[in-house]
Amino acid sequence: MEHHRYVIAVHGGAGAIASDPADASPYHRALKAALAAGTELLEHGAAALDAVEAAVVLLEDGPLFNAGRGAVYTADARHELDAAVMRGQDLAAGAVACVQGVRNPVALARSVMQSSGHVLMVGAGARCFAQQMGLAIEPDAWFHTDERLAELRRAQGRQVPSAAPAPLLAQGTQGTQGTVGAVALDVSGHLAAAVSTGGLTNKRPGRAGDSAVIGAGIYANDLSCAVVATGTGEHFIRCAAAHDIHARMLYRGQAMQEAAADVVFGELQRMGGVGGVIAVDAHGAVSMPFNSAGMYRGLQRQGEAAWTAIFPEDYSGM
């Protein structure tokens, strides 16, 4: 069996991000901890899917990012969570949407993939399945942070008339837009992706974003790449962003870096979409394009130190 040099990349969301370096240090630590969780598994020969799930679980459990604990609030001041996983070797995938109370939606998404016979489960049915799988269920208070509740109140204070489309009610919100996610290539040459989110601040109850849609906010195929997205989910859904990167590579012959940039700065931006993606290809190349003010992101390759960044000027060769 051919041995590959493993690599894992993570992100913690894109959007309007504070520029004070002192404010950024907890985010860098959290991203490095997520990378370490995935790298520990990859170092011992674990599958890429195990590594990306471990990285995302750690980000869900921390209060800094818009996923799990610390997720944003819906318009009725609840938390509705989306997540998905995908394995590049066989295109197996699992996703959940509008789930309440499940501590780690990414773990539930993997259970959907492995144990349900389905790809996508939503709402109360998904929560019931989580209980059947023995996954942790937490009270509403576990997901709360004062900062996210304040974001909701500010968004509702600016709210446009209720006849307007729901996404317009949330786009003015400060802070990160979207998700946490991870992509990886393991030593066996297989790719995987995982993503989790609380969605948009002040979203209508029942709204699901791109993170729960295979091919929009997540895609993985050993023939091309593994991709996860972050940003204004409706736009990523409408242009099937993650699958489009794969398709450009497979059918047009584009390199991953070119394909990812074309999607983020081309179709997505023309539609008014804001955000970015992280992607790794079958050869271990990594791309992290974004058209927002910043994107929390990190990278670790086998035998190298972890690297994290927030702003465009932080970019280095990958």
Question: Catalytic residue positions?
Answer: 179
Question: Is 65 in a helix, a strand, or coil?
Answer: coil
Amino acid code (one letter) for 297: R
- What angle, rounded to 10 degrees, do the helices at 48-61 and 21-43 form? 150
End-to-end CA gap in the chain: 26
The DSSP string of 4-63 is ---EEEEEEEEEE----HHHHHHHHHHHHHHHHHHHHHHHTT--HHHHHHHHHHHHHHSS
Paired tokens of 259: 């394909």
- Which residue in 107, 114, 61 sits closest to 84, CA to CA? 107
Burial class (CB in 10 A: 0-12, 13-18, 19+), 236: buried
Paired tokens of 209: 């974003």
Paired tokens of 159: 């709210």
Question: What are the two backbone dihedrals, phi and then psi, of residue 277, each rounded to the nearest 5 degrees?
Answer: -140, 160
Distances from the Cα of 216 to the Cα of 70, 244, 251, 316, angstroms: 23, 8, 18, 27
Q: How far apart, in whole angstroms, are the C-alpha atoms of residue 309 and residue 35?
A: 13
